[in-house]
Structure 1
Amino acid sequence: MSNLSWSSIEFLYPMWLWLLPLPLLITRIAPSYRTQQAAIKVPFFNLLVDALKLPTSDGASQLTPAKWQRILLCLSWVLILLAVTKPTLLGPPQVREQIGRDIMVVVDLSGSMAEKDFTAKNGQKVSRLDAAKEVLKDFAKTRKGDRLGLVLFGDAAFVQTPFTSDHQVWLDLLEQTRVEMAGQSTHLGDAIGLTIKRFEDSKKPLPTDKSREKVAIILTDGNDTDSYVPPIDAAKVAKVKGVRIHMIAIGDPQTVGEQALDMDTINTVANASGGQAFQALNQNELRNAYAEIGKLEPQLYQSTTYRTKQSIHQYPVMFLVLIHLFFFGFMSCKRAKQKSHQSKGEHHV
C-alpha cells in the first residue's frame, strides 16, 4: 500500500541524457565495421562479376545488423543512460515542525474580573474576563507552533489546560472559564508557583526541550492576598528555572472597592524573571499589551518540508540484463535447431 503514495521521479544526474544521440552520430561519422573473409583468387574475376552483376568490396564484407538487433542496441543504450542518471522515486511531501515556545497563560478569576468596565468591539460593556477572552483569541492565532497552557487562580490556583499544540482545544477550555470558578481573592504568588511546576512537569528527555523557550503571561486586576509563596519570591524561582513572566494589570480596582493594584510588586515580579509589566485600563490597551508581548516573544516555529527518496537505478540495469539473456537464449536455441536440421539433412543425403 505504501508504494501507491509515490508521486514523482527525480533524476539526480540528468546531464547524461545529452548522450542519447551519440550512437546515431557515431554511425553517421565513423566508418562501418568490416570483417576480413577468405577469398579465392581467379584471373577472370572481373569478367565473372560483370557477367553475374555482383557488388564488390575491397577485400572485406560489411556486416548489416538485423532490425531486431538495431532495436536491442538502441534500447540497451537508453537503459544504460537511464541507470547512470540515477532515477529516484520521491515520496509525498512531509512537513517537519519544530515547536518554539511553551507559553502558559495565567488568568485571574477573582470577583473583580466580573466588573463590566471594558468596551467590546460592538460598543457594548463587557466584563474584564470577557474582554480578556476576546483578546486572547486573537493572541492564540499569532502563536503558531507554540504550546499553550492555561492556569486560573483566585482563592487557589489550578490548571485549566495543560500544555497543548491544539490551540482550538485551548480556546474551547478558555471559553468555559467563569469568575465563580476560583473564588473572590487573588493568590498571585501561588499561581506563579503552580506555573513553574507545570513547566517542570512538562519536560521531556529530548534535546529540543533544552532550547525551548518558557514564557508565562499573567493577567490580574488585583493585589496578591495570602499566597503561600510571595509573588516576588516566586518570580526569583522562575528566573532560576528559565521562565520569563510578563505581567498585565487590567482595570481600575478602585471602582469596585478593592485594594489598589501594587504596581511596584507587579513590576518587580516581571523584572526579576526577565519579563515586562503592562497596565491596561481598557480593551485597546489590553490588546496592545498582548501585541507587545508578541513582539518580545516572536515565533520560534520552524517548518521544513522534505520528501523521502528511493533510488531505482538498478531496475534499468536488471531489465537490460534480462532482455539480453532472453535474446541470447533465443538465438542459441535457434542456432541449435538449425544445426540439428543441417545434420539431419546431411545424414539423409
Structure 2
Amino acid sequence: MSRYFNIFFWEYDFYNPHMLWLLLAIPVLLFFWEYLQKTRVGQLKYANSEQEQLSYSIGWVRYIRWGITTCYAMSMACLILTLAEPYNTSIDPPKIDYKNGIDIILSIDASGSMLAQDFDPNRLEVAKRVAKKFVDSRKGDRVGLVVYEGEAYTACPATLDYKLLKDQITAIEPGYLEPGTAIGSGLGVAVTRLRSDSLPSKVIILLTDGSSNTGPDPMEAAELAKQKKCKVYTIGVGANGMAPTPVQTPFGVIYQNVPVEIDEAILRDIAKLTNGKYFRAQDEKSLEKIYAEIDKLEKRKMEDQHLAVEPPLTLFPFFIWSMLFSLAAWGVQRLKFKLDD
C-alpha cells in the first residue's frame, strides 16, 4: 500500500524531466507571495506603536501562516512532479512473456538407419524421447511435427495441444514411407507448415543421421526457408566411427557395424543460410544439451527483438499528495479565518 503514496522522488525517473525546471519557480512565487502579504494595505488603522500592535497578536498564528504557505508550496511541487510523468525505478521490471512468441516445427528423420544402436536403445527412440522433453518445456509456443524418410509428411501441424503432439512423436516408426533419406523433403514440408499467419519467430529443428540420397535438393528447401525468414537448426545424430545398424538381407534384418556417415557439410550450409546453427549429437545427453541450447538461443533472440515495454506512469502518489497538501492548506486557512472572527 505504501507504494501508492510513495513520493520519494529519488526512486523515480521521469519521461518529461524538463518539466522539473518549474520547481525553481516555487521559491520565486513564495517570495512574491510574502512580499504582497507584507505590502498589502489593510482596512484598519492603529494609532498605537508597532510594539503595542504586536502585543495584541497571537504568536502561533504566524506559524500557521507559514504552514499554510509550505503546504501550498508542496502542493505545487507534487503537481510539477506529476507533469514530469514519473515512473518508479525501484519496482522489478516485468518479466518477458514468451507466450505466443515462437512457431516451431520438428522435422525428424525416421529412416531405417535411425534404428542404429549407438544410442540406447537406438537413435530414433532417443530422438523421440528428447523431443517430447523439449515439447514439455514449451510454454505457449506452437509446435508441429514433420516425419520424413524417402518422402515426408506432416504428422502434426503447429499446435498448442502438446498431448496430441507427443502422441504423434511416440507413433513415429520407420517403414511407412518410401525408403531413403530425403532431407530436402523433410525441410521443404516443414517450411510449408509455417503458414503466412505464423508467428513472427519461426524455427525448424531438422534432425537426421545420414545424408540426403533422394528427393529435392536440400539447399533449395533452405532457400525457401530463408525467404520465409525461418531459422533452421540442424542436428546430426550418430556416434563417431561404426554403429550397429539394421540391414535387410535375404534372411531378414540383421545388425551390422556400419560407418556413421552424416553429411555435416550440407547441414552446416542449411543452418548458415537460414541464420541457424548446426549441432552434432553423439549420445542422448548431448542431444538434450542441444535442445536446451536451441531453447536458450531462441529466448535470447526474442529478448533482443522484444520491444521493451515502457514502465507505466506512476502519477497517483504525486497527484494525491498535491491534492492533500492543497486541502490541508485550504482547511487550515478556513479554520484560521474562523479563529480570527
Identity of aligned residues (%): 21
Counterpart amino acid of 1:243? C
Q: Please report how far the alpha carbon of residue 188 of structure 1 lies from its aligned counterpart in structure 2 after TM superposition.
A: 3.4
Contact 2:234-2:271 at 8 Å conserved across structures:
yes
Q: 2:146 aligns with which of 144, 152, 161?
A: 152
2:51 & 2:274 partners in 1: Cα distance? 100
1:289 to 1:13, Cα distance in 2 relative to 1, 3 A: closer
Q: Is residue 314 of structure 2 the alignment partner of residue 309 of structure 1? A: yes
Q: Is residue 109 of structure 2 the alignment partner of residue 108 of structure 1? A: yes
SS in 2 for 1:237: helix
Counterpart amino acid of 2:123? R
| Match in the other structure for 2:237 | 250
| Match in the other structure for 2:287 | 286
Q: Please report how far the alpha carbon of residue 281 of structure 1 lies from its aligned counterpart in structure 2 after TM superposition.
A: 3.9
Contact 1:114-1:128 at 8 Å conserved across structures:
yes
Contact 1:146-1:301 at 8 Å conserved across structures:
no
1:223 to 1:58, Cα distance in 2 relative to 1, 3 A: closer
Contact 1:152-1:191 at 8 Å conserved across structures:
yes
Contact 1:137-1:171 at 8 Å conserved across structures:
no
Q: Is residue 152 of structure 2 the alignment partner of residue 162 of structure 1? A: no
SS in 2 for 1:255: strand
Contact 2:226-2:274 at 8 Å conserved across structures:
yes
SS in 2 for 1:309: coil
2:301 & 2:6 partners in 1: Cα distance? 34
When the two chains are superposed, the root-mean-square deviation of aligned CA atoms in Å is 5.1
Counting only pairs closer than 5 Å after superposition, residues 267-346 of structure 1 correspond to structure 2 as 267-287=268-288, 289-290=290-291, 299-302=300-303, 306-311=311-316, 312=319, 314-316=322-324, 318-320=326-328, 322-323=330-331, 326-327=334-335, 330=338, 335=341
Contact 1:93-1:307 at 8 Å conserved across structures:
no
1:248 & 1:268 partners in 2: Cα distance? 12
Q: Please report how far the alpha carbon of residue 323 of structure 1 lies from its aligned counterpart in structure 2 after TM superposition.
A: 1.5
Q: Please report how far the alpha carbon of residue 315 of structure 1 lies from its aligned counterpart in structure 2 after TM superposition.
A: 1.0
How does the TM-score come out when normalised to structure 2?
0.57
1:58 & 1:322 partners in 2: Cα distance? 30
| Match in the other structure for 1:220 | 208
1:298 & 1:223 partners in 2: Cα distance? 30
1:309 & 1:90 partners in 2: Cα distance? 5
SS in 1 for 2:143: strand
Counting only pairs closer than 5 Å after superposition, residues 43-54 of structure 1 correspond to structure 2 as none
Contact 1:278-1:289 at 8 Å conserved across structures:
yes
Q: Please report how far the alpha carbon of residue 269 of structure 1 lies from its aligned counterpart in structure 2 after TM superposition.
A: 3.8
1:243 to 1:74, Cα distance in 2 relative to 1, 3 A: same
Q: Is residue 183 of structure 2 the alignment partner of residue 196 of structure 1? A: no
| Match in the other structure for 2:9 | 12
Q: Please report how far the alpha carbon of residue 84 of structure 1 lies from its aligned counterpart in structure 2 after TM superposition.
A: 0.7
SS in 1 for 2:67: helix
Counterpart amino acid of 1:239? K
How does the TM-score come out when normalised to structure 1?
0.56
1:8 & 1:109 partners in 2: Cα distance? 63
2:236 & 2:208 partners in 1: Cα distance? 5
Contact 2:112-2:246 at 8 Å conserved across structures:
no
SS in 2 for 1:158: strand
Gaps of 5+ in 1: 24-34, 41-56, 119-124, 336-349
